[in-house]
Structure 1
Amino acid sequence: MKRKLAHCVIMGLLILISNQSFAQKTTVDAAPITIENYYKIKWGYADEFIALWKKNHYPLLKKLLEKGDVLSIKAESPIIHSSEDSRWDFKVTLTFKTEHLAFDYSITEPFKKQLFPDQDSYQKAEQHRFELVIAHWDVPVESVALP
């Protein structure tokens, strides 16, 4: 009987701990997340890349903004260039409503055919846009409170 009681107590504690972990994950997942997307483009092609990004990717992000999945979109390019090893040519900062939405790479799919009925041309333009990319990296960031 004592053994059975101990087993029930342990199981109850495990359930309580897992529920708390789930609640914490759900709370964290529900918080907005900001991601900076950096692009290093072949030398001399940054303007072409940015024009293609504005034509083919920005409309999809605006749909997510209208839907509420994305809370903000900001695009930047440096005024002067840095050394080749640390150079980036285009940065897009996106704040998503939740972490889940930020890492769900399929959330733009419903809008692709709507915005780009000629899918063949769209796919070719996107392929060319990525042919211009030397490197691309995404950095999740958080604000740091200052005194």
Structure 2
Amino acid sequence: MKKVITSAMIFTFFTLAEHKLFAQTAIGSFTIENYYRVKWGHAEEFIALWKKNHYPLLKKLLEKGDVLSIRAEAPLIHSSEDSRWDFKVVLTFKNEHLAFDYSITDPFKKQLFPDEEAYKKAEQHRFELLLAHWDVPVEDLALN
């Protein structure tokens, strides 16, 4: 009987701890670094398409308050092919739920891109230029 009570207490403790951690993450901001590796010689074209088709949607999320910051970077020099990336976008969302809501930009697509076919075609081309894409959720670490 004692083992059953102890097991129940441990389960309850971990369930509460997990819930508390999830609640803290959901309340606090959540940052994701998005990396893009593009076919050689096409980075500028990819970035121009990203700015034309995806950045306006992110700016709407920024205005709404769902996204807290948007930052883009490109390397000044290239690295080895196995570690190469051509474009990085760092997005800080209001919370984790918004970061993983893949339909979050849908309400703005028709408003910003009334020619749906042209938008889809441009986005298809942008993705055809990609060799690889990966997203890395990151957190700030206290150094003291």
Q: Same fold (TM over 0.5)?
A: yes
Q: 1:141 to 1:19 in 2, by over 3 A?
A: closer
Q: 1:21 to 1:114 in 2, by over 3 A?
A: same
1:92 has 2:89 as partner:
yes
1:6 aligns with none
Cα distance between partner residues in 2 of 1:23 and 1:134:
39
Deviation string, structure 1 residues 14-71 (Cα, Å, up to 9, x no partner): 9x75566434422221110110000000000000000000000000000000000000
* Structure-to-structure mapping, 1:93-112, within 5 angstroms: 93-112=90-109
Structure 1 stretches lacking a partner, 5+ long: 4-8
Cα distance between partner residues in 2 of 1:51 and 1:24:
39
Query: 2:134 corresponds to which letter in structure 1?
Result: W
Q: Which of 35, 55, 77 matches 1:80?
A: 77
Q: CA RMSD in A?
A: 2.0
Instruction: State the secondary structure of the residue aligned to 1:37.
Output: strand
Query: 1:92 corresponds to which letter in structure 2?
Result: V
TM-score (norm: length of structure 2): 0.88
Query: 1:112 corresponds to which letter in structure 2?
Result: K
Query: 1:136 corresponds to which letter in structure 2?
Result: H
Q: 1:87 to 1:20 in 2, by over 3 A?
A: closer
When Rg is computed on C-alpha atoms for both structures, the one with the higher figure is: 1
* Structure-to-structure mapping, 1:23-38, within 5 angstroms: 23-38=20-35
Size of the aligned set, in residue pairs, is: 140
Shift of 1:135: 0.1
2:52 aligns with 55
Deviation string, structure 1 residues 75-113 (Cα, Å, up to 9, x no partner): 000000000110000000000000010011110000000
Instruction: State the secondary structure of the residue aligned to 1:101.
Output: helix
1:136 aligns with 133
* Runs of 4+ in structure 1 over 6 Å off: none
Q: 1:20 to 1:137 in 2, by over 3 A?
A: closer
Q: Which of 110, 113, 116 matches 1:116?
A: 113
Structure 2 stretches lacking a partner, 5+ long: none
Cα distance between partner residues in 2 of 1:42 and 1:138:
18
Cα distance between partner residues in 1 of 2:20 and 2:103:
25
TM-score (norm: length of structure 1): 0.86
Cα distance between partner residues in 2 of 1:85 and 1:20:
39
